[in-house]
Structure 1
């Protein structure tokens, strides 16, 4: 059976493939506390997930002066490193990715993580060979700028209409809209799915099983 027809599917990482939202939220809060800023609420801290780290931390801690941003980022990394091995793939993600590969669909990652952070994560889990390419926030523009998707489309010579972005935040869906690509939102990650409608996703999946069934449905 032929899957729904996309030539390239780009996935966000945290909150879409990896069950990491709660840990990242806590790490942001602890980093802000360490540098003496006003600790953001869970909602405010989780909102910035998916952004490039400097942009995310500045947004989460508006009362921290810019000269303290390097310290803030360093403290975040300390807290995150203490928990990185606690982060796991959502159940069903490996099966989904393998099924898409069997359909000869190109798979990519478009993430707010750093290149170092993504590469470390790829070594921890059994994802080697499943992704054809990836883009990280420190090597291109952060979300919702469309550069990540534009670069991936150029790399594989795939048109926007044949490229799908899958993500759990409004930053992901706005990036897809900015790039002229369709998107799918997942409602089990960082942002409430009620915020997705204005960004015109083709579908909102509330579980990996729903995402699997929609992506593998006949096109």
Structure 2
């Protein structure tokens, strides 16, 4: 880390941050709930749990869920997301170019996501983005956000300190995880939560979308250089 480059490691959430997949996730949850005959829930309730691990999300939606419901919900949801539902879930515009630009500038990139390993590996392969990331962590490999373990294991693997790390995400779960891990966080309002919902969790900044990240980092580098 230098005054010109305060962050070495940029850790991205996936859904709602790099991929415009929130509508697809909600549609798959709604379909799963209908198939299982569970109590219907408003779309906003479903949006609010995006980013959590599957078990944690189900328990927030249905606090009395037993193991049978958890297993049935998980299987039905994954079948719909991976094979059945055709709601578009494209990358946000310019994401591949954004990552290439960041790598060219010397940043290290990683992913910390509530997706399963199977789900993340699938989209990394489909989008061709896998080689851009030094490492990735999923909710079925660590404790769920907002617990800091996901970020901590990434930093430990790469030998990076919290003050060298910036978490970029669209949900309060991302910002809380960053705070719990002792890292800075940057909120994007392109996904689950609005600026009004993200602001109380003290992000270093709020962006309309991840494509604005290079400009924000450039301003930070300039500020650090001037203060040095």
| TM-score normalised by structure 1 residue count | 0.93
Q: Which residue of 1 aligns with 2:142?
A: 140
Q: Deviations over 1:95-118 (max 9, x none)?
A: 111111001111000001111111
Q: Deviations over 1:192-211 (max 9, x none)?
A: 22111221100000123323
**More moved, 172-181 vs 186-195:** 186-195
CA distance in 1, matches of 2:204, 2:70: 37
CA distance in 2, matches of 1:120, 1:44: 26
Report SS of the residue matched to 1:110: strand
CA distance in 2, matches of 1:33, 1:85: 17
CA distance in 2, matches of 1:119, 1:84: 19
Alpha-carbon spacing, 1:106–1:112, altered in 2? closer, same or farther (3 Å)? same
CA distance in 1, matches of 2:119, 2:94: 22
Q: How far did 1:159 drift?
A: 1.0
Q: Which residue of 2 aligns with 1:27?
A: 28
1:161-172 mapped onto 2 (5 Å cutoff): 161-172=163-174
Q: Which residue of 2 aligns with 1:41?
A: 42
Q: Which residue of 1 aligns with 2:224?
A: none
Q: Is the 8 A contact 1:110 1:148 kept in 2?
A: yes
Q: Is the 8 A contact 2:172 2:193 kept in 1?
A: yes
Alpha-carbon spacing, 1:66–1:13, altered in 2? closer, same or farther (3 Å)? same
CA distance in 1, matches of 2:102, 2:171: 22
| TM-score normalised by structure 2 residue count | 0.90
**More moved, 43-52 vs 206-215:** 206-215
Q: Which residue of 2 aligns with 1:203?
A: 205
Report SS of the residue matched to 1:88: coil
Q: Deviations over 1:135-183 (max 9, x none)?
A: 1111111100000111111111111111000000000000000000000
How many pairs does the alignment contain? Answer: 218
Q: How far did 1:72 drift?
A: 1.1
**More moved, 206-215 vs 102-111:** 206-215
CA distance in 1, matches of 2:102, 2:118: 26
Q: Deviations over 1:27-49 (max 9, x none)?
A: 11111121111111111000000
Q: Is the 8 A contact 1:17 1:93 kept in 2?
A: yes
Alpha-carbon spacing, 1:155–1:65, altered in 2? closer, same or farther (3 Å)? closer
Q: Which residue of 1 aligns with 2:125?
A: 123
Q: How far did 1:73 drift?
A: 1.1
Unaligned 5+ runs, structure 2: 222-228
Q: Which residue of 2 aligns with 1:18?
A: 19
CA RMSD of aligned residues (A): 1.8
Unaligned 5+ runs, structure 1: none
Report SS of the residue matched to 1:194: helix
**More moved, 140-149 vs 189-198:** 189-198
Q: How far did 1:62 drift?
A: 4.0
Q: Is the 8 A contact 2:23 2:87 kept in 1?
A: no
